[in-house]
Structure 1
Amino acid sequence: MVGAIALALVFLCGTLWYRFVEGWRWLDSAYMTVSTLATVGFGEINPLGDRGRLFTIVLIGMGVISIGYIVNRFTEALIQGYFQEGRRLQQQRRLVESLTEHYIICGYGRTGRQIASEFEAEGIPFVTIDSNSQSVQAAQQMGYIAIQGDATLDETLVRVGIERAICLVAALPSDAENLYTVLSAKTLNPNVRTIARASTEEAVTKLQRGGADAVVSPYITGGKRMAAAALRPQVMDFVDGILTGSDRSFYMEEFRLDANVCPVVGQSLREARLRSQSGALVLAIRRVDGTLIGGPTGETLLLPGDAMICMGTAEQLRVLNQVLSPITSKKLRLPKHSQ
């Protein structure tokens, strides 16, 4: 902007000089000024004296300085933009490559935004994929790692480290896209857990056939929760408070019993004394074969690979985590406001 204004002022000064000092016509004055600033080498429109030639020399110098300034600023902006974009992409690639045991969110729409918000609240590493540039920018403005691309393509999933991920959430607006994404993810990493969004009951069945470990229909689930809230409001308030951590008192967490590091494997709940050691309550146990034991008794055996669903305060769950994995205990992920 500054360079353009300076060049316009130089053009105006040159035109006025030739018009009023040299006495030329307006068109001749403008033409002489333009040919002088452009340094094209045309001859003089009318003869010039020493004074006129000295002014023309000054005019050429002023024009060269103005045009050089404009070119310099344009080149600088172009180069800086190019390298800044390159640095941003390189930094983003390094961040993705550093992720391990992370989660992948495919689609940053209304559902994807809520999922990302929950993951962020619990400190879970994740990356977002969306084909819409505005959605990607919105995710990046929130501080999330976001990649623009088609989640149904293998190359896009490879870019976000599908082979190192532990879970993929397909929250794309189309059921077909979610199905393709689940199929691609399972092909590239058979061990990844896949959660898919479905719009219809038929899509739920097809996604399950396609390999999705869990399928959630916002309409079906939303209807059931609304009915439960109407029929059992206190139960729903209690469950919602635990699942989201909004009451900041109790939380629910699942623990996988690893035979190599868990000292209570092979013992009964009474022998393990988990309640007395941590204060946390064991609500249910899911066996490796999928069998769910609700309200386990003291005689229930703890077997390798069992998943225990427990409830307690943040501190009680941390103590339970240390009891179950004293050697390789990882930091228990709970909502940030509880830590």
Structure 2
Amino acid sequence: MKLPGQDAIARQADEHLVTHRVKLPRKMVEHPIRQVAKRLSMALVVLVVTAFIVYVDKEGYNDNSDGSLDLLDAFYYATVTLSTTGYGDITPVSDGARLTNIFVITPLRVLFLIILVGTTLEALTERTREEWRLNRWRSTLRDHTVVVGFGTKGRSAIKTVCATGLSKERVVVVDPSSKAIDAATADGYAGVIGDATRSEVLKRAELHRARQIIIATQRDDTAVLVALTARQLNRGAKIVAAVREEENAPLLKQSGADAVITSASAAGRLLGLSVLSPSAGMVMEDLIQQGSGMDIIERPVIKAEVGKTPRETADLVVSVVRGHRVLGYDDPDVGKLELTDRLITIVRATPGTQVAPDIRPLPRS
């Protein structure tokens, strides 16, 4: 049974999926009107050059109407010749005029035709190039990040992940709005237009080969359906989702999400903390902004730290991840650090540097 509002989303997605289903980021191209004006100018130049060549050698041409050739006749002959109309009322009669037609005017005619059909040729070339790019993109995309929803939450999540060193080429955005996908491709991300609750849409995003999935939809019921579909397609990917209502978080975890962030509650807690202590609120805001000030990261324990307590490490350790448990730095169960442990630490962010591949930032709201 479909949840309320899903039919409207599906209809909106179907409208957009008719023509463009996958959009790849591309370089800015010249405005179409400017392109047409440039081609018309080139065609006009070819026409004027041809008419000038004919007029210079006007004695080598014969006009059946009056026998002489003036400037208007030269432009008329150039027009009907370049357009391959060829009425035959004006003809080259001298050897020089005929040689000029063979070696000069004929190449100009070919150039003129190429300019006129340039739009069609460019459309065919662009279509072939886009198809080649799409096939190459699909064949090389592995262990990427799929972001469902390109609203405020989705944009912030992508920005945070990319701040750790993930390239934009390894991010795929899925959204039912064509405007959102246009914005995503303008920022350098690949985009898929469609309803992410449908498996065929997620397959176009190559979700079955993704390493991590971020669900940042506007509705909680949509997030649940997306999580169910995504987990069915990819059993090993890490799925992180955001919900508005805290009561929906357990349902989302049952649907396959590894971590669930309650956006409304998280924002409310930050607001409350800022009221009690504006400085503490500023610190928390700094921690959740990856790449500036202080960052909170997850990293493995190095050999030199094995056998030590969390307080004896060089970094500021706040928690220890042991197996599936997250223990506080002062938890008696932590004892000595083990090689299989992972540390959640607070470090000073260095602008322009990237996080090492084995160091992962914590999920953010």
> Which interval holds the TM-score relative to the shorter structure?
0.5 to 0.7
Normalised by the length of structure 1, the TM-score is: 0.64
CA drift of 1:187 comes to 0.5
In the alignment, which of 172, 183, 203 is matched to residue 128 of structure 1?
A: 172
**Structure-2 change in CA distance of 1:280 and 1:54 (3 Å):** closer
Q: How does 1:67-216 map to 2 (within 5 A)?
A: 67-73=109-115, 74=118, 77-78=122-123, 80-96=125-141, 99-100=142-143, 102-124=144-166, 126-131=170-175, 132=177, 135-136=180-181, 138-144=183-189, 146-150=190-194, 151-200=196-245, 204=249, 206-216=251-261
1:5 counterpart residue number: 44
CA distance in 2 between partners of 1:313 and 1:49 (Å):
84
What amino acid sits opposite 1:9 in the alignment?
A: V
In the alignment, which of 284, 296, 305 is matched to residue 239 of structure 1?
A: 284
Determine if contact 1:287/1:307 at 8 Å carries over to the other structure: yes
Determine if contact 2:300/2:343 at 8 Å carries over to the other structure: no
In the alignment, which of 260, 283, 298 is matched to residue 318 of structure 2?
A: 283
CA distance in 1 between partners of 2:335 and 2:92 (Å):
110
Larger mean CA deviation between 173-182 and 298-307 belongs to 298-307
CA distance in 2 between partners of 1:128 and 1:32 (Å):
56
RMSD over equivalenced CA pairs, Å: 4.9
1:322 counterpart residue number: none
In the alignment, which of 245, 248, 252 is matched to residue 296 of structure 2?
A: 252
2:12 counterpart residue number: none
CA drift of 1:136 comes to 4.3
CA distance in 1 between partners of 2:137 and 2:179 (Å):
17
In the alignment, which of 323, 344, 347 is matched to residue 310 of structure 1?
A: 344
Q: What runs of 5+ residues in structure 1 fail to find an aligned partner?
A: 316-328
What amino acid sits opposite 1:119 in the alignment?
A: V
CA distance in 2 between partners of 1:9 and 1:312 (Å):
72
Matched position secondary structure for 1:283 = strand
Matched position secondary structure for 1:65 = helix
CA drift of 1:8 comes to 4.2
CA distance in 2 between partners of 1:190 and 1:304 (Å):
29
- Number of matched pairs: 303
Matched position secondary structure for 2:207 = coil
CA drift of 1:133 comes to 5.4
CA drift of 1:230 comes to 1.5
**Structure-2 change in CA distance of 1:34 and 1:297 (3 Å):** closer
CA drift of 1:185 comes to 0.9
**Structure-2 change in CA distance of 1:153 and 1:20 (3 Å):** farther
**Structure-2 change in CA distance of 1:166 and 1:134 (3 Å):** same
Aligned identity (percent) is 21
Matched position secondary structure for 2:146 = strand
Larger mean CA deviation between 114-123 and 132-141 belongs to 132-141
1:224 counterpart residue number: 269
CA distance in 2 between partners of 1:156 and 1:143 (Å):
20
Determine if contact 1:37/1:59 at 8 Å carries over to the other structure: no
Matched position secondary structure for 2:172 = strand
What amino acid sits opposite 2:308 in the alignment?
A: R
1:296 counterpart residue number: 330
What amino acid sits opposite 1:110 in the alignment?
A: T
CA drift of 1:121 comes to 1.0
CA drift of 1:69 comes to 0.8
CA drift of 1:117 comes to 1.2
Q: What runs of 5+ residues in structure 2 fail to find an aligned partner?
A: 1-38, 350-355
Determine if contact 1:39/1:60 at 8 Å carries over to the other structure: no
Cα offsets for 1:261-283 (capped at 9, x unmatched): x989xxxx9x9214465233443
Greater relative contact order: 1 or 2 (C-alpha under 8 angstroms, separation 6 or more)? 2
CA distance in 1 between partners of 2:359 and 2:272 (Å):
33
CA distance in 2 between partners of 1:298 and 1:204 (Å):
30
Determine if contact 1:3/1:67 at 8 Å carries over to the other structure: no
* Residues 1:44 and 2:89 are matched in the alignment: yes
CA drift of 1:148 comes to 2.4
Determine if contact 1:106/1:172 at 8 Å carries over to the other structure: yes
Normalised by the length of structure 2, the TM-score is: 0.60
